[in-house]
Structure 1
Amino acid sequence: MNTDQAFDLLKDAGVTESSSIQTVRRWLREGKIKYEGGNGNRKTGYIMDDTDQAFEMLKDAGVTESNSVQTVRRWLGEGKIKYAGNGKRNTGYISDETASKLAINDSINQNKDEIIHRLKLKIQAQEKHIEGIEELHETAKRILIQQRDMFKKEVAILKNEKSELQNESKDLLKENIELRNELIKLKEKIRNNYMIDSTIQSNDYSEKLGLSKMASDKEVLAEYKGLLKITHPDHNGNAKVFHYIKTDYDNFRKSNKGK
């Protein structure tokens, strides 16, 4: 085998170009191959005596045993190796036809076992991944349930508050109506009473106001101011009554300036 053939053999077996070059140089130094040509025009056909030689060279080049078995089997099928070896070699490879098949079958079985082992590991990893997803799902489910219960409680609280506000609004409205009715009655009473009193043209202002004769000027003034506020037209009061009260109020103030 020459250098070009050895280089092509190694490349076809999957050895990198740099490793192939180093191995060919070493084989050339050790006398395992001979130098022919060297112009780069390599022959594509392999000239190898038997499978033993192929196994030994591939092993010496650092190719793994399983890859060597597959490569040698292929070369033998392609006619690149003349015949199966006789088993007389130091590498430990079985090279007769029956043993070679057994070795190849063992390699295939090893590959199957390795594939099965990898598949089992992959399945285990997938199962762990699924368990993690299921755990996350359960966690998310619990959180959603808690949030749902919390929202239900908040809705119930809001409904109660709404009901309480509605009741308070009803009570306020009722109270407002009652106060309004009382105010209307009070205004009507003041209008009727004061109109009657105003026709009398009495100067007893405390009597007109329904106060005690012993009432002080401050009490009279305070009562007038209250009546003016209630009867003022801006507060939906009676303009005529307001006029009477305002007139008496002004007269009362004038009569008490000198005091």
Structure 2
Amino acid sequence: MNTDQAYALLMDAGVTEENGIQTIRRWLRERKIYYEGNRQQKNEYILDNADQAFIMLKDAGVSESLMAQIVGRWLSEGKIRNVGNGNRTRTAQAEPNKSVINPFLNNQQDQMKIIHQLKEKIKSQDEHIKGMEQLHKTSIHSLIQQRDKYKKENAILQNEKSELQGEIKNLLKENRELRSKLLKLKEEGSFGANKNPDKILGKPQPKTNHYHQKLGLSRTASHKDILAGYKKLLKITHPDHGGNEAAFHYIKTDYDQFRNRE
């Protein structure tokens, strides 16, 4: 290994430039490397085996926690010819296990295992998503059916509501007619117990000035009694007391005529 290759490896291992230069000079003095300048290397390998790499890194002061990662990377990059026989000469370190000798291969296997697990997880999630989509479609279909059902029920209720409103209008109309007939009967009954059949049948009646007879009073009723009878009728038929306006007007006119003839 020449000086350029050694320096490049030390820089790649994270050794500072100053320490790297001092280490290169020491290795040259110890004849561990040789000076070759910028001549091209005959092959792609720089180190013969991993043991040599471990020894070099330890001698350069690289921590043992980083040596395994660096050697594994150099193996994967083709900078080391072979793994070695596990006997690190010129070092007191214990024999490395397989994970230390070739961490790159172990990392690759772990990565493949993780990728396989991730693929299985993605597949499971895809199946779960498909199930959720199917459930969503089923829920939408069910909701659409319920909506259509509610629309039909609402249309039926609206139809029944319209029919009920029509019946209410008819009942109100009948009620008004019945109230009119009742008021008419009250008006006719207020003029005396002896009803004139001709008047009920709508035949014309001769004019009369017998106000006591209209009020259902006796012929001997006094002027005061007639006035009291009119006032009583006016009070009953007054619109403010729930009476009929037409009946009130009729009685008021008759009352005025009675007072004017005095």
TM-score (norm 2): 0.49
TM-score, length basis structure 1: 0.49
Higher helix share: 1
